[in-house]
């Protein structure tokens, strides 16, 4: 099993999209990339914690490759909009790849370059402490199927 973390706007839709992929073993909505210890949704929502809404993914590399996850990531959001996805605005909705190894970093950078789009603003940064979001955010679309999200 490997782990990675992606931020691509509201974590509800990002989680739902990754859960569809064969080889993704688990997903957890949460917060990462900021300064506040143990942040809450209400704190992250203000944009003042520095955290992004993100999804931590455990995947079986024998079933799905990191490159396939990257392809899904690039296709589920607009990586050219700064701090915005759909109606969600703020640094907490930024586009970012939080890598766990030099290999993941290299693959992420190569995949970004392969898109040949100079307007991509996606951060590729080392993974930092990941804080799981409150329980009601986990599997949100399973519990609330009529909810709108930029990825749907």
Q: What is the pLDDT of residues 124-138, one digit of tens each?
A: 999 999 999 999 899
Find the CATH number of the domain harbouring 123: 3.30.1060.10
- 107 in a domain, yes or no? yes
In a domain, 29, yes or no: yes
Q: Quick count: other Cβ atoms within 10 Å of Cβ 61?
A: 12
Dump pLDDT digits (tens) for 12-50. 999 999 999 999 999 999 999 999 999 999 999 999 999
Please report, for residues 32, 48, 126, 144, 145, the alpha-carbon distance to residue 103 in angstroms, rounded to integers and kept in the order given: 20, 31, 12, 36, 36
**CA pseudo-torsion sign 150, 14, 44, 91:** negative
Domain that holds residue 131: 2-143
Q: Which residues are catalytic?
A: 10
Domain count, the chain: 1
């Amino acid at each position: 099993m490997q782990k990675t973390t992606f931020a691509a706007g509201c974590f509800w839709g990002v989680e739902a999209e990754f859960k569809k992929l064969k080889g993704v073993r688990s997903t957890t909505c949460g917060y990462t990339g900021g300064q506040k210890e143990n942040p809450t949704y209400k704190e992250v929502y203000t944009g003042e914690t520095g955290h992004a809404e993100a999804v931590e993914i455990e995947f079986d590399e024998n079933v799905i490759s990191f490159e396939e996850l990257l392809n899904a990531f690039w296709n589920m959001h607009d990586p050219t909009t700064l701090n915005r996805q759909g109606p969600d605005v703020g640094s907490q909705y930024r586009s970012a790849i939080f890598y766990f190894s030099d290999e993941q970093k290299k693959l992420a950078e190569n995949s970004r370059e392969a898109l040949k789009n100079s307007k991509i603003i996606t951060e590729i940064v080392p993974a930092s402490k990941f804080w799981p979001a409150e329980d009601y955010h986990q599997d949100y679309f399973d519990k609330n199927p009529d909810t709108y999200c930029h990825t749907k």
